[in-house]
Amino acid sequence: MDLVELIKAAGVVGAGGAGFPTHVKAAARAEILIANGAECEPLLVTDQWTVISHAKLIAEGMRALGNRVGAKRLIFGVKSHYTDVIQAMTPFLDGEYPIEIGLIGDFYPAGDEQVLVHELTGRVVPEGGIPLDVGVVVSNVATLANIRRSIDGQPVIRKEVTVTGLVRNPGVYEVPIGISTAEVVAAAGGVTDENVAIIEGGPMMGMLIEDWSKPVTKTTGAFLVLPADNEVVITRRRPHAATFRQALAVCCQCRMCTDQCSRFLLGHRIEPHLAMRALLAGGAYDLDGVDAEGRRFAQPSGDDIPFEVRAMGYLCSQCGICEVWSCPLGLSPRYVFGDYKAGMIARKQPNPLKNRPETALEQQAWLRLPKPRLVERLGLKDYLLPYKGTTVPVADPWEVNIRLKQHVGAPAIPIVKVGQAVSAGQCIAEIPTGALGARVHASMTGTVAAITDQHIKIVRQGV
């Protein structure tokens, strides 16, 4: 069977957070394959520990994917101070299809795939584009391990997750997909304080989890258990309407948000300070929009905001530098851009910004945000984990709730029935005909207890 079909059968998606179905990417052609081992977000060590545990799998996955897409170069992208990660990969670099080590600095967001492509190849991804537009395929290291497993017929049913913060045993845990957030935190020894909140993902781009029963998916990277009064948590709980009112009241147009924007520095036509200025011209704003995921977003009451400024929302990576680091007043241009984009999508207005910059701006080389300083700014230094460690496997829970949509594209369609016995690794939901999507598999042996339009619940047999 062709590698593309093996990957498709195993339900492999981008494990770094994007969730793009990997069989589609594997069917492309590219000159360069980059393994993303840069670990973008502060506090997360999932990728580092995964490489140390599965370096051989990752190297074999790189060679398999590189051969399939026709890549002439294989580059393992890693931060230069991740010496244990580099040491783990070194024995597997040589061979008929050699792998290069591509070193990058310790800045944020070095793991952003567009930034990573520029750092390792000098190429600039076009506005609104993807690395394939410049002949590059980027794949997260955990995704590459899953690609190698797919060759042996192993589907994606478990996920490595960083758990840190106010827990007794912080570390990286290998858990069944569908296990609840609360059970993962319990596996890490439980919380050490009553007044906590959980961020899924990193402190810069992660989302606040109010419902601790939310299940782990193929893209879950971390659970950060933080004090409820930490600024990261407070910011997530601030209503968008308040964010807009604050911006209208106090933005001083210093343009620091633009000067330090990671995509602006790549030569893209995104200027966050203009988004904030446009609010002053746009009149009243109301929370009257609802996106495809049911989230509300702010929309201008009129059409006074220039179309070109609204369109910049398509170019924003939501990295959060503007909000956390650049703005002296703590404003959030990224939320404004997010709402602009949501409004354009709701109006069926496509992205008109498609320039192809030849080079990044000169200052891109030195206007970088050091990751250690970012950790200090966020007040998270006490929760740092070592770069090297051993992942801890977590046993199957009493039940799992496996999402039908854990990926970009359409939700998978259940092919099992309530009361049916299933085995770990069995396909339980298929890709809709003609749609972009990914297969979903049972992460443990048990009985199908419920099927909804969002998930399939499996309980242990005999429970």
HEC-encoded secondary structure of 219-279: CCCEEEEEECCCHHHHHHHCCHHHHHHHHHHHCCCCCHHHHCCCCHHHCCCCCHHHHHHHH
Is residue 235 included in any domain, yes or no? no
Is residue 374 included in any domain, yes or no? no
Is residue 73 included in any domain, yes or no? yes
Question: Taking all residues of the chain, what is their mean pLDDT, rounded to a whole number?
Answer: 92
Ranges of H-type helices in 284-440: 307-311, 321, 333-346, 371-378
Q: Among residues of the chain, what percentage have pLDDT more than 90? A: 80
Q: Assess whether 17 and 143 both reside in one domain.
A: yes
* Full domain range(s) for residue 383: 157-230+379-395
Domain CATH for 84: 3.40.50.11540
Least Cα distance to 339 among 374, 313, 305 occurs for: 313
Q: Assess whether 152 and 170 both reside in one domain.
A: no
Is residue 373 included in any domain, yes or no? no
Q: Is the pLDDT of residue 243 over 80?
A: no
First to last CA, the chain: 38
Query: Where does the pLDDT of residue 402 fall: very low under 50, low under 70, confident under 90, or very high at 90 and above?
Result: very high
Given 349, 368, 387, the domain boundary residue is 368
pLDDT of residue 301: 47
pLDDT of residue 284: 46
pLDDT of residue 387: 87
Q: Assess whether 178 and 313 both reside in one domain.
A: no
Question: Averaged over 282-287, what is the pLDDT?
Answer: 50
Q: Assess whether 114 and 206 both reside in one domain.
A: no
pLDDT of residue 245: 76
Given 115, 136, 156, the domain boundary residue is 156
- Neighbour tally for 397: CB within 10 Å: 19
Q: Is the pLDDT of residue 74 over 50?
A: yes
Amino acid 22 reads T
Main-chain phi, psi angles of 20, to 5 degrees: -75, 135
Amino acid 364 reads Q
Least Cα distance to 463 among 450, 451, 446, 443 occurs for: 446
Query: Where does the pLDDT of residue 302 fall: very low under 50, low under 70, confident under 90, or very high at 90 and above?
Result: very low
Domain CATH for 421: 2.40.50.100
| Token digits of residue 237 | 């709980």
Q: Is the pLDDT of residue 292 over 70?
A: no
Phi-psi region of 163 (alpha: psi -120 to 50; beta: other; left: phi over 0): beta
How far is Cα 330 from Cα 95, in angstroms, rounded to an integer? 51
CB 323 within 8 A of CB 368: no
| Token digits of residue 421 | 């016995």
How big, in percent rounded to 5, are the helix, strand and coil portions of the chain? Answer: 35, 20, 45
pLDDT of residue 287: 45
Q: Assess whether 124 and 58 both reside in one domain.
A: yes
- Neighbour tally for 237: CB within 10 Å: 11
Is residue 389 included in any domain, yes or no? yes
Given 106, 121, 156, the domain boundary residue is 156
Q: Assess whether 364 and 384 both reside in one domain.
A: no
Question: Which residues have C-beta within 8 Å of that of residue 291, sequence separation ≥ 6?
Answer: 297, 342, 345, 346
| Token digits of residue 340 | 């602009």
Main-chain phi, psi angles of 408, to 5 degrees: -70, 135
Is residue 220 included in any domain, yes or no? yes
| Token digits of residue 131 | 């690395």
Q: Assess whether 334 and 384 both reside in one domain.
A: no
Mean pLDDT lowest for which of 174-178, 217-221, 236-240, 274-278?
236-240
Amino acid 147 reads I
pLDDT of residue 219: 95
Q: Is the pLDDT of residue 299 over 60?
A: no
Q: Assess whether 213 and 349 both reside in one domain.
A: no
Q: Assess whether 312 and 273 both reside in one domain.
A: yes
Q: What's CA 229's distance to the chain center, in Å?
A: 25
Q: Assess whether 312 and 452 both reside in one domain.
A: no
Q: Assess whether 268 and 334 both reside in one domain.
A: yes
Q: Assess whether 190 and 256 both reside in one domain.
A: no
CB 22 within 8 A of CB 14: yes
Mean pLDDT lowest for which of 221-235, 274-288, 416-430?
274-288
Question: Averaged over 193-199, what is the pLDDT?
Answer: 96
3-state secondary structure of 286: strand
| Token digits of residue 149 | 């497993």
3-state secondary structure of 217: coil
Is residue 348 included in any domain, yes or no? yes
Tell me how many domains the chain contains.
4
How far is Cα 170 from Cα 177, in angstroms, rounded to an integer? 19
Q: Look up the pTM and report it.
A: 0.92
**Residue 379 or 16, more confident:** 379
Q: How far is CA 2 from CA 22, 136, 141, 429, in A?
A: 14, 21, 21, 21
Quick: pLDDT tens for 84-105. Answer: 999 999 999 998 899 999 999 9
